[in-house]
Amino acid sequence: MTPTTPVLAVDNLSIDARTPSGLRRVLEGVSFALAPGETLCLAGESGSGKSVTALAIMRLLPRLALRIAGGGIRLAGRELTALSDRAMREVRGGEIAMIFQEPMTSLNPVMSVGAQLIEAIRAHQGGDATAAARQAREMLDAVHIADPGRRLAQYPHELSGGMRQRVMIAMALSCRPKVLIADEPTTALDVTVQAQILKLMRELKEAFGTSIVLITHDMGVVAEMADRVAIMQGGRIVEQGSAEAIFLGPREAYTRDLLAAVPRLGARTGLAGPPRITSREAPPRPAAPAEPVLVLRNLRVDYGGARGWFGRAKAGPPAVEDVSLTVSPGETLGLVGESGSGKSTTGKAALGLVPFTGEVVLAGQPIAGLSARAMRPVRRAAQMIFQDPYASLDPRMPVGAAIAEPLAIHGIGRPAERLDRVAELLRRVGLSPDHAGRYPHEFSGGQRQRICIARALALEPKLIVADESVAALDVSVRARVLDLMLELQETMGLAYLFISHDMAVIERMSHHVAVMRHGRIVETGTRRAVFEHPAEAYTRALMAAVPIPDPRLRRVG
């Protein structure tokens, strides 16, 4: 029988932000309880208050910016808001632990993995270094890291993203906390590693009896993991209940909108291509096959291996080997695979951004061996949209100037004409021309990605390489950006090389699909052929790893 006393109770929690114009309420009356051994998911769009709630529970709110305005937080009946900083340090890590979204920024880059684990264990449990080292090794083994003895001596940059996240989980659980808070722990991971991490968290929950607060905007992950769900919007919990109740009978329109925005694998079964988004007239298809906008033949990219004696580079496996692809006007080629498979390198090589061997033909022009000057007119035909829109924009440059910059570089139009073009592009991507004078930090993540799309369209390219362009966006914003890209393709005849590790997004966007593994293409075909009749076991494994947004179909193992 479930004990009546929750292990964690948040009661009417309210938080204020300090602004130049005074205090502004950012969290209002948040209440929930976490039972022993339970997984509660806090779900909602970016900015809904999920992470602020977690930081308040951990007492990690930045004091100059945020303050708890009211309410209580009790851990096993103990009021955390009343504890001194010293007492809270003992609670934090020992009784309640947190895993952050990006493990590379959470781990110390100049300390070995073992040193960081040992430090955490000794800080909360005491004991000698030998016993702590033995426990650190046991924890790496518990999170299924192979050869834990060798990994303890390595540094964070020597591990993959999935392995770094496993180290963070090992560190968080090393002191057997009552509660584990996981803030978007799988957002940056590809689908197969995500499945492994979710399976690991379920196993460790059973092994250690830990209760979990899982923060995510991925409703597929919510369906996979949650016993109960709390939906957050605008700093409030608008709906909460069991996973089955939320997914099968949501009461709130906002919850229904979140669920409707989730791309579902198999939703395009039986259909030839992406959905039509606009009713406006699309450009007529040519009667004869059009000349491809991008052709890759026997593409190979070598980054060089590790350094040996006297700094000489030792030969390592190529990042991309023997890749041949074709992208036609008005169509999307989806390039999918795990992290490290060579997808992004292929996209960069297609634009001549990294050295390569083989043949790349861009808008009818072979680009191998072209000088930077000779490449400039060719670059007008192809542009790139990157995963992180904030890192793609100069924080000191108004967005209007950023959009106009390609026009100025290529000497297109007079200044007044460029301003008109910027206003037109902003309208085209669903923003206001008045936004041109604002800076990147004044926009949301989805708005910044729209700005990057506008910038990519400035030169009227024939091809856009979209490299994980929606991976960092929450589910509803992602749906709107994907719809925008489909509409632009229909009305402008754009071709996309669409790079992603999300199989459901690839299925939604693509006419043709290429699956990459270890730098090689292992399967290609039409969207229907690849998704409805996958030939390769690897492709089937990628599809099987996609979380299904239905708690009745969650994986048991």
Helix pair 161-173, 191-208: axis angle to 10 deg:
10
17-26, 71-80, 532-541: the lowest-pLDDT one: 17-26
Q: Is residue 520 part of a domain?
A: yes
Q: What is the percent of the chain with per-residue pLDDT over 90, rounded to a whole number?
A: 50
The structure tokens 């990147």 sit at 440
Q: What is the percent of the chain with per-residue pLDDT over 70, rounded to a whole number?
A: 93
Residue 289's pLDDT is 59
- Between CA 254 and CA 464 the distance in angstroms is 33
Residue 316's pLDDT is 63
- Report the length, in residues, of the chain: 557
Residue 64's pLDDT is 86
CA angle 539, 540, 546 (to 5 degrees): 95
Specify whether the CB–CB gap between 509 and 486 falls below 8 A: yes
The structure tokens 């209760």 sit at 211
What are the structure tokens assigned to 145, written together?
């890291």
The pTM (predicted TM-score) of the whole model is 0.78
Nearest by Cα to 227 from 554, 546, 557: 554
Q: Is residue 311 part of a domain?
A: no
Residue 1's pLDDT is 40
The structure tokens 């229907």 sit at 528
Distances (CA, A) of 539 to 159, 346, 409, 509: 25, 19, 42, 17
* pLDDT at residue 217 greater than cutoff 90: no
Q: Is residue 83 part of a domain?
A: no
* pLDDT at residue 228 greater than cutoff 80: yes
Specify whether the CB–CB gap between 548 and 224 falls below 8 A: yes
Q: Is residue 338 part of a domain?
A: yes
Residue range 189-195: average pLDDT?
A: 78
Farthest-apart Cα atoms in the chain, separation: 77
* pLDDT at residue 340 greater than cutoff 60: yes
Residue with more model confidence, 363 or 475: 363
Number of domains comprising the chain: 1
Residue 286's pLDDT is 52
Indicate the pLDDT class of residue 166, thresholds 50, 70 and 90: confident
* pLDDT at residue 284 greater than cutoff 70: no
- Between CA 195 and CA 542 the distance in angstroms is 10
Nearest by Cα to 347 from 391, 303, 386, 289: 386
Residue 306's pLDDT is 45
Indicate the pLDDT class of residue 2, thresholds 50, 70 and 90: very low
Indicate the pLDDT class of residue 309, thresholds 50, 70 and 90: very low
Rounded to 5 degrees, φ, ψ at 65 are -110, -35
Residue 307's pLDDT is 47
Q: Is residue 410 part of a domain?
A: no
Kindly state the helix (H) or strand (E) to which residue 459 belongs, with its residue range.
Answer: none
CATH number of the structural domain spanning residue 506: 3.40.50.300
Q: Is residue 11 part of a domain?
A: no
* pLDDT at residue 315 greater than cutoff 60: no
Domain range for 337 is 290-305+317-381+501-547
Residue 408's pLDDT is 93
How would DSSP label each residue in 470-510? Answer: TTTS-HHHHHHHHHHHHHHHHHH--EEEEEES-HHHHHHH-
How would DSSP label each residue in 325-342? Answer: EEE-TT-EEEEE--TTSS
Query: Taking all residues of the chain, what is their mean pLDDT, rounded to a whole number?
Result: 87
Residue range 195-219: average pLDDT?
A: 86
Q: Is residue 335 part of a domain?
A: yes
Residue range 4-23: average pLDDT?
A: 91
Residue type, 487: E
Residue with more model confidence, 348 or 315: 348
Beta bridge partners of 22: 19
Residue range 389-407: average pLDDT?
A: 91
* pLDDT at residue 449 greater than cutoff 80: yes
Q: Is residue 142 part of a domain?
A: no
Residue 522's pLDDT is 97
* pLDDT at residue 465 greater than cutoff 60: yes
Other beta carbons less than 10 A from residue 494's beta carbon? 23
